[in-house]
Amino acid sequence: MLTYLTLQDRPREFLAATGLTHDEFARVLPAFAAAYAVLYPLDKTWEGKGRQRQRGGGAKGVLGPMEDKLFFILVYQKTHPLQTMHGLQFGLRQSQTHYWIHHLLPVLQQALADLGMAPEREGSRVATSPLTLEGAPALAIDGTERRRQRPQDAVAQQEHYSGKKKTHTDKNLLLVNEMTGKVVYLGPTEPGKKHDKKAADEAQIVYPAHATLDKDTGFQGYEPPGVLTQQPKKKRKAWKEA
C-alpha cells in the first residue's frame, strides 16, 4: 500500500508521484493542516453536524496522518488516475476514494491560496498576479490534455474526442512563469476537441507590459497586444545527395 513513508527516502520517485520535492512538501504541509482544521473543525462531523461523541471513536481511517492525506491528494492531482486505480494504491474502495478526493481537494486549494501558490483562474488578473511578477515577465503558454471516460451522449463524444490524442479528453490552458517554473494561470476545463488558440482567445488573458510569450504551433496566430511572442521553427531536413 502506498503511503507517505513509502517514498519518504526516495526523492526521485516522490517527485514523480507528487510533483513536489520533500522540501516543497514540508512547506505545504503546515498550511494544509491549518486549512483542514478550518474546513473540518474538531467539534463537527465530516458532514458539518455537531459531534455527539468524542473525536477518535469508531473505525480508524486508512488516511490517518496529515502527511498521508496531503500525499494522497497530490498523487491524484499529479497522475490523475481512475478512482478505482487510485484507490488500489492506497487500500481504498472506489467509493472511499471518491469521498476522500472531494473531501481533500478544497483543503489543498485553500492551502495553496494561503501560501500564494494558487494559479489565477481569471485571465484578467494575470498581469497583476504576484506569480507573474516574480522575475522578468517571461511566460509560456500551452494546452494540456488528460484522458477521461468516454461520454455516453453522442454529441459530448464528438466534443471531447481529441484528434491529437486519439481519445476522449478534457483540456486546460496553462500559463507558466519561465523564470520560476510556477503555473501562473489555469484555464477552465474544456472539451478535448477545442483548439488551443480558440481557448486562449476566449480566456482573454491580460499580460504585463513588454512580456515575452513562448508558444507552440497550436497557438499560431495568437498575438496578444503588447506581447512579444516566440514560436519555435521546424528545422529543414538535410537531404542527402543521391
Instruction: Give mean pLDDT, residues 28-38.
Output: 95
| Per-residue model confidence as pLDDT tens digits over 148-196 | 888 888 999 899 998 888 899 999 999 999 998 889 999 999 999 999 9
Q: Which residue has the higher pLDDT, 113 or 49?
A: 113
pLDDT, residue 64, reads: 86
pLDDT, residue 87, reads: 93
Residue 145 backbone dihedrals phi, psi, to 5 degrees: -120, 145
Cell of 1: 500500500
DSSP character string of 109-165? HHHHHHTT-PPBSSGGGTTT-TTTSSSS-EEEEEEEEEE-PPPSSHHHHHHHEETTT
C-alpha closest to that of 180 among 144, 143, 135: 135
pTM here is: 0.73
Q: Which residue has the higher pLDDT, 78 or 30?
A: 30
Q: Is the pLDDT of residue 238 over 70?
A: no
pLDDT, residue 242, reads: 47
Cell of 68: 498521508
Q: Is the pLDDT of residue 58 over 80?
A: no
Within 10 A of 192 (CB to CB), how many other CB atoms are there? 21
C-alpha closest to that of 120 among 70, 42, 58, 188: 188
> Structural domain boundaries of the chain?
5-114, 123-230
Q: Is the pLDDT of residue 38 over 90?
A: yes
Look over the chain and give the mean of its residue pLDDT values, rounded to a whole number: 88
C-alpha closest to that of 87 among 97, 72, 100, 73: 97
